[in-house]
Structure 1
């Protein structure tokens, strides 16, 4: 069992409502791990998306959550944020006034006026509340500028200092699937049937069915994922103790139980003759 220091990651995750997981270099290991994380985040009530500039082919068809993968990202998207109670807003619309875009926010009758300091404009909508980078961002090319804004967590098997990362997790020589098997429970996320299957597929490919680049933790991670993929009724980790089976007793045909506590009196046959042993010869 591995024990990572996840204090910084958990601090970012606990307050996040949305997550972006970026995979610069596509492999079954990295995509399976990213999807496993995304599915676990969605189960925890957070929105999650996986960014990969390469589209998965048939080699990835057995993975769950492929619909969460996108290959496009535009950091130039404009976001207008109004810090105002939603229940006081009646309608939001837009119009074209002389070739200019006007956004109209109509408040309900009696509501207070929206002040200028309650409005913020930014063009970094592509970054979610928390972002995970699985490996070096260089293969993203010009899209690598995505790391210039947002709360980034850098996870990789190679120790490289990333100044843009607010949290870092490095596990040398371990595939992503092994890292995430132990990381998810530490973050309070559940490894269930779908997320466990995705990570297990990645682990099997990364280790060539546990024949290369393996450690005791690799086999332990495989066992954890395998247990997660089992139905609850057959999973010993989730199934409760089996109740003993009690067969009904037919009192009409049942034989009474004898009292074995009473003393047993030996029985001697006094009429049987005592025959001496002819071979007995006393020694003087």
Structure 2
């Protein structure tokens, strides 16, 4: 497993190759049918209108907030917030190239920019799983939303992760290390999180994120495999284990699937 296998929590400290790979991985994932279906569902239920003020928490390369910026123009505002300078630089570059009005600021989900009750819509996708306490971030989203404002969340339940071949090192990696994320059940937790923070009229849906990779170096597959590789190495089986997985992927038989949840709710 290459040390440049891209991850997202430490993208700013990775090599140029690692940063480029992380950006490419986001672009590839955005094109997957289940991600596109969840994006469309979230957009429909958030129902952005001209004049609204909207925020994307963990905006990445800014694709979704740029789309919202067009829908709330000309009198609304659209802001993307992300802790990564790499992501923000790319989001700004793409926004300027498209002459899009979205703005991008550095910040964390646990301490959002914005005054109390200042926003109409907040969205966040696959961010809460990376936080030690997702409730803090959802509380911040509730704080910055006006009464009647809506939150839209998408996240993963890593407890549902399944692969074929069902290698024991892979099984151990997701059952014990939970794909390296602090909150592996964030997807299934979404409905409870919004309820606990005073949101009402919650709607929820799910979809299955399935990959059949021909190479094993793109997240999220690479992140799980990095953990599994350590277990295989400790057992003295890394070379054979790796070869078997690479052969399976090359033959189109490797399957990687996990459940995603989406929730939209209204601030009371």
Name the TM-score class by shorter chain: 0.3 to 0.5
* TM-score, normalised with respect to structure 1: 0.34
Q: Name the structure with the higher helix share.
A: 2
